[in-house]
Amino acid sequence: MTEFEILIQQTGWSVPEAAKVLGYSEGHVYRWKRGEEVPRDGVINLLRMQIDAHKGAQSEGAFTFIDLFAGIGGLRKAMASAGGRCVFTSEWDSFAQKTYHANFPDNRPIAGDIREVDAAADIPEHDVLVAGFPCQPFSIAGVSKKNALGRLHGFQDETQGTLFFDVLRILMHHRPAAFLLENVKNLKSHDKGRTFDVIRRKLTEELGYTLHTRIIDAANFVPQHRERIVMVGFRENTGFSFDDLVLPGRAGRGMRDVLHPEDGTETPESHFTVGREARVSDKYTLSDKLWQYLQGYAAKHKAAGNGFGFGLVDGDSISRTLSARYYKDGSEILVSRGAGNNPRRLTPRECARLMGYDDSFRIPVSDTQAYKQFGNSVAVPVFAEVARLMRPHILALTEGPGLRKVG
């Protein structure tokens, strides 16, 4: 990767935006990115000034936090909304890193594999550890697949299950005032509760943190059923309680809140919507062959007495859970186009809205990668509310007299 490309990622500019600001053609920018030509020193200096200015604007925060297994930054957005400032990020997927850089241009280089991160040398002091550690070993779908393949799962899975212990390793070294962890609902019941019991004992009995858990459905904030377990811990007892959580509820909520209106009231966006009315591109409509297959598949399983099949939504619906497999056929959330018409997939922008990202959130990757990223992300408003609830308790430990780091 060229120096120019790294700097462009850190500014968050697209090629057209960079060309406009720098005063050069898009062709020049593309050639600089590919390393075919070297930009003038003035261009590089301008980029560095832009990045430094953004860093300065973001340098203050009520508390600091680190973002582990960061994905595209959903938990970071939530913590920032409560006044937090991110001081370290770890995410191994290069495509997720690209999206993260595009939306957080002030961010320093992202650390890759957390197993290769030295807690002492690489991670700065921080007030809160934030981590959405990998879902796959604990999810219902993941466990079923691994059972079918005769593979180990959960804490027995050497590829992902032990990554939780990297969270413990960092907590043990830095002893931050608090942590916020997120995982799939099934974590609590996995292996008859034994997996969660290991997590609980490690965090409380071995590290001495308080632990508060709550399963929250994102449908209280966005038109999507998405239940996740939220784990909040503090170095000392602060009186935190999930009973103080404010859930807006589902009344009046529906997919109309996220679907493109297709009536000209929205500005067309890239290849998602086209024309003066910003209609959804035809490429998102299911082919006759795929639609016939999905209907046949649903009918077969309905006859067998199980619930497998597609999920059809309209403006009044609350959708099923958006998953990382959405790119395959979109079957869990299909938008009705009316009787006699094939339904369509959500666009990546609609997926972003469904996860609580506003329209300023940049999507610099392909549709396939975007679907995976939003399917793996968190519902931002859920965790923004959790962060709001945590804030006074974090400040009590970081600003209060006598409440300092121990151990």
Distance CA 258, CA 341 (A): 21
For 210-358, strand residue ranges (E) read 210-217, 227-234, 273-274, 279-280, 312-313, 334-335
Pair of tokens at residue 235: 């170095």
Which burial class, exposed, middle or buried, applies to 316 when counting CB atoms under 10 A from its CB (0-12, 13-18, 19+)? exposed
d(CA 375, CA 235): 32
How far is residue 201 CA from its own chain's centroid?
27
Q: Rounded to whole angstroms, what are the CA distances from 20 to 13, 42, 221, 245, 344?
A: 10, 15, 37, 45, 35
Residue 58 CB-half CA count within 13 A: 19
List 68, 75, 131, 135, catalytic entry: 135
CA 216, distance to chain mean position in Å, is: 16
351 assigned to active site: no
Any idea which residues carry the catalytic annotation? 135
